[in-house]
Amino acid sequence: MVRAVDGVDLRIDRGETVGVVGESGCGKTVTARSVLKLIDMPPGRFEAGQILWRGRDLIPLEQDEMNQIRAREIAIIFQEPMTSLNPVYTVGDQIAEVIALHQKLSPKQAMAGAAEMLRLVNIPNPTKRVRDYPHQFSGGMRQRVMIAMALSCQPKLLIADEPTTALDVTIQAQILELMQEMKEKFGMAIMLITHAMGVVAETCQRVTVMYAGKVVEEAPVKELFGNPRHPYTQGLIRSIPRIDRAVSRQARLESIQGTVPSLLNPPAGCRFAARCKYAMDICTQGIPPLKEVAPGHRVACVL
Amino acid sequence: MNRQYIIRRLLIAIPSLLGISVILFGILAMAPGDPFEELATNPAIPPEVRMALRAKFGLDDPVWQRYLHWLAAMMQGDWGFSFQSRMDVDRLILQRLPVTLIVIGASQILAISVAIPVGVLAAIKPYSIFDQIASTFAMIGFSLPTFFTGLVLILVFSIQLDWLPFVYRADINATGWAFYWEHIKQSIMPVVVLGLAQAGTLVRFMRSSVLDVIRLDYVTTARSKGIGERKVIVRHVVRNALIPVVTLIALQLPAVFGGAIVTEQIFRVPGIGSLLIAAIQANDTPVVMGVTFIISCLVVLFNLIADILYGWLDPRISFR
Amino acid sequence: MAGSTPASLSADAPATPQVVVRPRKARSISPARETWRRFRRHTLAVTGAIVLLILVSGVLLGPYVWPVAINDIDFTAKLQGPSLAHPLGTDDLGQDLLARMMYGGKISLAVGFAAMLVALTVGVLVGSIAGMASGWVDAALMWLTDLFLALPTLPLLLLVMYLFRDSVKKVLGVEGGAFVLIVVVIGGLRWMPVARLVRAQFLSLREKEFVEAARALGASKVRQVVQHILPNALGPVIVVGTIDVAAAIIFESTLSFLGLGFPSDVPTWGSMLRDAKDYLDIAAHWALFPGGAIFLTVLAINFVGDGLRDAFDPRRVL
């Protein structure tokens, strides 16, 4: 049994962008998908805890109740735009599908709504493009289509699971800008999952750092970058390549030694202990709980 | 759908037909002995007809000339004369073709309507009891040789239970509903035999196709949109999973015709399959060539239809 | 799983069953061994393999245990059901069915394997040439393959048997002639899927790094193919080969059933069915035994083929 997510406490307030950072395999995607219960539920299951959405726990909800929440209140976009769209239906059909499902509109009206959404995400010539198939769009455009689809029912929360990882850097910037625009327009909250600290610094209000299935630090963004307390966070920030420092001083890129532990067999005690340069005996004896070290800033470390 | 795509497939089909005709004729030409020996020894054939046939088939000309003669004749609808049945081969074939097509068509419809739902249901809950039973039955279905299944069915339903007739009669003394009912009764077994084998293959293929599709990203996307699971399966999964199945059905067609030959022989259905066997037994070469050629043409035709269907189902193909 | 440590219970961990993982000794497991291990876990496939083994040994060794002639005509014993004297009964000439079944089994299995070998050889040749050559050679070979794929197998088989049977009989004798002809024709019409498969494997494998490495080390094209690509492409080819044996057996019995394979006095399972079909009402056993034998053999082969396919497929976690 793998505890992909072990005791994660996450909180997103109305209209704020929260970044969830961590290496591959730390449980970010599982966390994201489990909010909407999109994990395969034979093998996977919820052992304990709650998912509170506007005061209502989502875990005991049945499928059709979940379906009322999906897209209408919480929407999600995925990492791989190339494979996230159904190749046999036009993009208009796929967007209209969501619109027609949650707002009782005629097919024609839904299509018009779809074209409008395409226009909103800055796809040129939307009324014509609405009849095109996914393979006729580039990667960046497909991600825009995904965003259009996700936002078509004006959800209150958008979960973005590494939305720009698979795209070129220039397109990345465009997509992030688009998301910011949409957020302001619709007053949405965003849960932005990424492993790029630079993106987090630019777009988020608060940040949660995850490691090996657990939260190790969370703080408002300026506080996190200005005063990182957990050794892992410090390592992450230090490993961002900087071009503003003199070359002779920074001859090597900083990295964190070691690899992520296997979740099949998690180590007892702090999971970062094996790679931590400050590790002490006490670190392997028990998992340190999250404690508040400054207003809004919690760290799970004995330091 | 793209007209260019259809035209392109059509253009590919023509060289295939030509290629097949070359192969068939080549086999005939390579055959030792005189395929028309029968003509010489059969007293019922007048010598003029014999001479005419020899001339038409140009048996004394070089090979390529004979091929072109033969091809020209075929294209003009002159397929030769059957000694056994005393009529032109093309009329003979046209007479018997509909029955074969009906039996094959009905069996395919039966197979598809059973196999697709079963395959989808088995894939939705893999390794469940339903899946294991369905998969085992599918395996049995396509391991059973058609002639054995036919004989067993005859044994059970005709001999033991006496529910169904096992000799096909084209002329039935009955009117109205009884007429249709009698026809249906005698077609049940051949159709079931042919359909069973095909259903076995289709169930397995559909199951694996659905299993492949159901774990793709866009299915998760569909679920995240709040679409009910049943609709997700039907609209998103099955629609995509069907695409390779269409190709499979087309690729299976040569085998289906083979099965039809055997079935017609066992149940004495008067189609082109039993015609082929009878002609072989009577050394009636023009009929043998004619039937083989028409079956090959039909296979090419159905492959073409499948290609077009495939282009219609998958927009990525036809838009190139 | 580098660096995994044995689990130990900590004071506040919930009482769920812990997975104890002992650090693995570094043992080199060859791919063949791994495939065998995966195959073993497929119960149906293993059952199929056992059934096949029993059938094959029965057919090969049976005549020593049951030394009855296959053409001992005995009109007093005709059309009898199973009995002590004739465990599978007799046919309309009083010949012992068990003996005839064993003989027929030998032929059917021999045809199956031989045809499969022909199909595999031609297929691997065509596929590898097409896969390595590319350009117009590849296109031409693929067009040829598609052409052959469109040919309906049984009608063509019938056609060839019809045209060539007599002359081959004269050269190679009744049994030998029929055997060679059937094997060549079946094999000649079953090579196409193999060729396609091999070509697809080649196309993907030849760009892989280990082949490039071999090329960089100066390996000739032939050496690249034989030493590096073919062993990796072999898995799916073996699976198709297994299916081919089953298909060949079915084709041979169909031909014999229709009267164009082995003649009636040569007792293959198919020709026995041909004779038996007119006696279904009074001697069902005569048809059921050979038919059942064909069915069982093909079923067992198909199960084995399934197991092999799963064993070779790296994506499946077994």
pLDDT digits (tens, 9 = 90+) for A211-233: 888 888 888 988 888 888 888 88
Is C115 a domain residue? yes
**Res C2 pLDDT > 60:** no
- Is some CB atom of chain B closer than 8 A to the CB atom of A99? no
The shortest CB-CB distance from A259 to any of C2, C5, C7 is to C2
- Does residue C59 lie within any of the structural domains? yes
What pLDDT was estimated at residue A97? 92
Instruction: State the residue range of the domain holding C95.
Output: 33-68+91-312
Q: Is A120 on the interface with B (CB under 8 A)?
A: no
CA distance A187 to A156: 7
Q: Which span out of B159-163, C226-230, C236-240 was modeled with the highest average pLDDT? A: C236-240
Note whether B221 contacts A78, CB cutoff 8 Å.
yes
Q: Would you say residue C11 has pLDDT above 70?
A: no
The domain total for chain C is 1
Cα–Cα dist A94/A111, whole Å: 9
| Cβ neighbours of A17 (radius 10 Å) | 22
Q: Which residue has the higher pLDDT, B208 or A46?
A: B208
pLDDT at B37: 56
Name the residue among A155, A18, A208, A43 with its Cα closest to residue B224: A155
Is the pLDDT confidence value at B131 over 50? yes
- Looking at residue B53, what is its pLDDT? 66
Confidence at residue C10, expressed as pLDDT on a 0 to 100 scale: 35
Query: pTM to 2 decimals?
Result: 0.82
pLDDT for B167 beyond 60: yes
Residue C120 and residue C87 in contact, taking contact as beta carbons nearer than 8 Å: no
What was the pLDDT predicted at B114? 94
Q: What is the ipTM of this complex?
A: 0.83
Higher pLDDT, C220 or B7: B7
Residue B319 pLDDT level (bands cut at 50, 70, 90): low
Residue A250's pLDDT is: 55
Looking at chain C, the whole-number percentage of residues with pLDDT higher than 70 is 87
CA distance B222 to A98: 9
CB distance from C172 to chain B under 8 Å?
no
The span from the CA of B168 to the CA of A239, in Å, is 82
Between residues 233 and 272 of chain B, which touch chain C (CB distance below 8 Å)? 251, 253-255, 257-259, 261-262, 265-266
Which of C147, C152, C167 has the CB atom closest to B254's CB atom?
C152
pLDDT over 90 (residue B7): no
Domain containing residue C246: CATH number: 1.10.3720.10
pLDDT at C255 over 70: yes
The arithmetic mean of pLDDT across residues A170-183, rounded, is 87
**C-alpha span between C307 and C302 (Å, rounded):** 9
Out of A36, A80, A135, name the one closest to residue B316 (CB): A135
The pLDDT tens digits of the residues spanning A274-287 come to 788 787 887 778 78
pLDDT tier, A240 (very low <50, low <70, confident <90, very high otherwise): confident
Mean pLDDT of all residues in C202-206: 78
Q: Note whether B151 contacts C277, CB cutoff 8 Å.
A: yes
Say whether A67 and B218 touch across the interface (CB within 8 A). no
What is the predicted pLDDT for the residue at B237? Answer: 93
Mean pLDDT throughout A91-100? 92
Calculate what percentage of chain B has a pLDDT beyond 70.
85
Q: Is C155 on the interface with B (CB under 8 A)?
A: yes
User: Which residues in A have their CB inside 8 Å of a CB on C?
Assistant: 1, 258-259, 261-262, 264-265, 267-269, 274, 285-286
Residues of chain C found within 8 Å of residue A262, distances taken between Cβ atoms? 1, 3-4
Q: Does the distance separating the beta carbons of B216 and A71 come in below 8 Å?
A: no
Strand order in the sheet with A206-211: A74-77, A157-161, A189-194, A17-21, A206-211, A214-220, A297-299, A291-294
Q: Quick check: is C13 in a domain? A: no
Is the pLDDT at C70 greater than 90? The verdict is: no
- Mark yes or no for CB contact A87/B316 under 8 Å: yes
d(Cα B107, Cα A74) in Å, to the nearest integer?
48
Residue of chain B whose Cα is closest to the Cα of C163: B31
> Greater confidence, C27 or B308?
B308
Q: CB distance B217–A97 less than 8 Å?
A: no
Q: What average pLDDT is seen over chain B?
A: 83
What is the reported pLDDT for B159? Answer: 78
Cβ distance A266 to C6 under 8 Å?
no
Shortest CA distance from A99: residue in chain B: B225
A227 touches A207 (CB < 8 A): no
**Residue B40 pLDDT > 60:** no
Q: Which residues contact C87 (CB under 8 A, 6 or more apart)?
A: C66, C98
Residue C277 lies in a domain: yes
The Cα–Cα gap between A273 and A277 comes to 8
Is 70 exceeded by the pLDDT of residue C8?
Answer: no
The whole-number pLDDT of residue A130 equals 92
- Residues B139, C246: C-beta atoms closer than 8 Å: no
pLDDT tens digit sequence for C126-155: 988 888 777 888 888 888 888 888 888 888
pLDDT of residue B178: 75
User: pLDDT tens digits, residue range C169-195?
Assistant: 777 777 777 788 889 888 988 899 889
Among B100-114, B171-185, B251-265, B303-317, which is the least confidently predicted range?
B171-185
Higher pLDDT, residue C253 or A261: C253
Nearest to C19 among A261, A265, A267 (CB): A265
| pLDDT value for A185 | 87
Element (H, E) at C51: helix C43-65
Dump the DSSP string for C195-240. Answer: HHHHHHHHHHHTTSHHHHHHHHTT--HHHIIIIIIHHHHHHHHHHH
What's the gap in Å between the CA of A31 and the closest CA on chain B? Answer: 15
CB contact under 8 A, A67 and B227: yes
Give residue-wise pLDDT tens across range C261-296: 877 678 888 888 888 888 888 888 888 889 999 999
Closest in A63, A75, A135 to B229, CB measured: A63
Q: Is there a contact between B299 and C295 if contact means CB atoms under 8 Å apart? A: no
Q: How far is A278 from chain C (nearest CA, A)?
A: 19
Residue bearing the bigger pLDDT, C50 or C264: C50
Write the residue in B142, B151, B258 that is nearest to C152 by C-beta: B258
Contact C5/A267, CB-based, under 8 Å?
yes
Is B26 in the C-facing interface, judged by CB distances under 8 Å? Answer: no
Helix/strand/coil for C157: helix
* Tens of pLDDT, residues B277-313: 988 888 777 888 888 888 988 988 888 888 888 888 8
Do residue C155 and residue B155 have CB atoms under 8 angstroms apart? no
Q: What is the mean pLDDT of residues A71-99?
A: 91
Please name the chains neighbouring C, where neighbouring means 3+ C-beta pairs under 8 angstroms.
A, B
Residue C117 Cα, gap to closest chain A Cα (Å): 41
pLDDT score of A45 = 79
**Is the minimum CB–CB distance between B291 and chain C shorter than 8 Å?**
yes
Which chain A residue has the Cα nearest residue B313?
A88
* Pair A153, A99: CB distance under 8 Å: yes
Residue C79 lies in a domain: no
Of residues A15 and B38, the one with the higher pLDDT is A15
Question: What's A159-225 look like in SS3?
Answer: EEECCCCCCCHHHHHHHHHHHHHHHHHHCCEEEEEECCHHHHHHHCCEEEEEECCEEEEEEEHHHHH
Q: Are B251 and C149 in contact (CB under 8 A)?
A: yes
Tell me the shortest Cα–Cα distance from C193 to chain A, in angstroms: 28
Chain C environment of A264 (Cβ under 8 Å): 1, 4, 19, 21
DSSP string computed for A51-118: -EETTEE-TT--HHHHHHHBTTTEEEE-S-TTTSS-TTS-HHHHHHHHHHHHS---HHHHHHHHHHHH
Tell me the mean pLDDT in the region A83-96: 92
> Cβ–Cβ of C1/A259 closer than 8 Å?
no
Is the Cβ of C287 closer than 8 Å to some Cβ of chain B?
A: yes
Is B227 in contact with A101 (Cβ distance < 8 A)?
Answer: yes
CB B241 within 8 A of CB B213: yes
Summarize pLDDT for B245-269 with one digit per residue, the tens: 988 888 888 889 989 999 998 888 8
Nearest CA in chain C to A48: C14
Lowest mean pLDDT among A249-258, B134-143, B228-237, C275-284: A249-258
C258, pLDDT greater than 80: yes
The answer to whether residue C6 scores a pLDDT higher than 50 is: no
Neighbours of B8 (CB within 10 A): 15
Residue C29: its pLDDT value, please? 63
CA distance B126 to B211: 8
Q: Is residue C142 part of a domain?
A: yes
| Residue recorded with tokens 């096949």 | C52
Least confident span in A38-47, A205-214, B43-52, C171-180: B43-52
Q: Does C25 map to a domain?
A: no
Query: In this structure, is residue C4 part of a structural domain?
Result: no
Q: Which of B232-236, C66-70, C282-286 has the highest mean pLDDT?
A: B232-236
Neighbouring chains of A at 3+ CB pairs under 8 Å are B, C
Mean residue pLDDT of chain C comes to: 79
Q: Which chains touch B (3 or more CB pairs under 8 A)?
A: A, C
For A122-153, write each residue's pLDDT tens digit: 899 999 999 999 999 998 899 999 999 999 88
